[in-house]
Amino acid sequence: MTNRSTPPTFDENFREHFHDLLVWRRDVREFRPDPVKDDILDGCLQLACQGPSVGNSQPWRFVHIRDQDRLNKLAHYFKDENQKALSDYDGEDAAKYARLKLSGLREAPVQISVFADTNTTAGKGLGSRTMTETKVYSVISAIQILWLSLRSHNIGLGWVSILPPDKMAGLMDVDENWVFVGHLCIGYPVEQTDIPDLVKKNWQKRLPMDRFLLQR
């Protein structure tokens, strides 16, 4: 899709579709093996790179992992960390946690690790002097755009954080100062649903809006 020169007008029809996109976005852990076309993935990454960033520093760094050895090591890291996480729970929660599927590392056809280059000179430090973490926030904004853009192509994304952050730059052979933000499993979902998996599996229900909105 090319950038247009005249500003678009967003109408009710668009808003309905956009609403559906937001409500039917899901964190996906079960993927079909069908490949994702390179041009679709590139287009979504391009949009992610148009996201907001502190001082326009564009600190996002995407590592598209193609090497099977790296993927195997990643899956082992996940297994170890997930086992440690399981040991934090007892009783019914432990049994429930053990049944959860918390990554598509073995199935998703596209695997991307995302880092923040918090030392980038782009943006000349504007906006991040008081809050250095804003570079990481910028990367999270880009991931959210990637998530929604992919979903608009009926492609799912699953965010994996059950990984050792201190080992990720080494595994990916990137600058050791880059901050690991998350690993993304990407592909066509087995199922489309408007209900989060952790709600379905009775782990954590959605909470009412009045818990989050304060009036002063």
Ligand X SMILES: Cc1cc2nc3c(=O)[nH]c(=O)nc-3n(C[C@H](O)[C@H](O)[C@H](O)COP(=O)(O)O)c2cc1C
Report the interface residues with ligand X, using CB under 6 A: 26-27, 29, 102-103, 159-162, 182, 196, 198
* Tokens coding 190: 């087995």
Q: Are the C-beta atoms of residues 129 and 56 closer than 8 Å to each other?
A: no
Q: How far is the CB of 154 from ligand X (least distance, A)?
A: 15
CA distances from 136 to 74, 81, 118, 128, 163 (A): 22, 22, 7, 10, 17
Nearest-CB residue to ligand X? 196
Using the minimum distance from each CB to ligand X, give the nearer residue, 83 or 161: 161
Q: How far is the CB of 184 from ligand X (least distance, A)?
A: 10
* Tokens coding 30: 């079960």
CA distances from 189 to 28, 146, 200, 210 (A): 6, 16, 16, 32
Q: How far is the CB of 66 from ligand X (least distance, A)?
A: 22
Q: CA 30, CA 50: separation in Å to the nearest integer? A: 29
* Tally of CB atoms within 10 A around 100: 13
Using the minimum distance from each CB to ligand X, give the nearer residue, 123 or 185: 185
Q: CA 75, CA 181: separation in Å to the nearest integer? A: 17
Q: How far is the CB of 34 from ligand X (least distance, A)?
A: 20
- The one-letter amino acid code at 115 reads F
Using the minimum distance from each CB to ligand X, give the nearer residue, 123 or 184: 184
Using the minimum distance from each CB to ligand X, give the nearer residue, 174 or 198: 198
Using the minimum distance from each CB to ligand X, give the nearer residue, 26 or 61: 26
Using the minimum distance from each CB to ligand X, give the nearer residue, 55 or 156: 156
Adjacency order of strands within the sheet including 60-64: 60-64, 110-116, 179-187, 156-160
Q: How far is the CB of 181 from ligand X (least distance, A)?
A: 8
Q: Are the C-beta atoms of residues 105 and 78 closer than 8 Å to each other?
A: yes
Q: How far is the CB of 189 from ligand X (least distance, A)?
A: 10
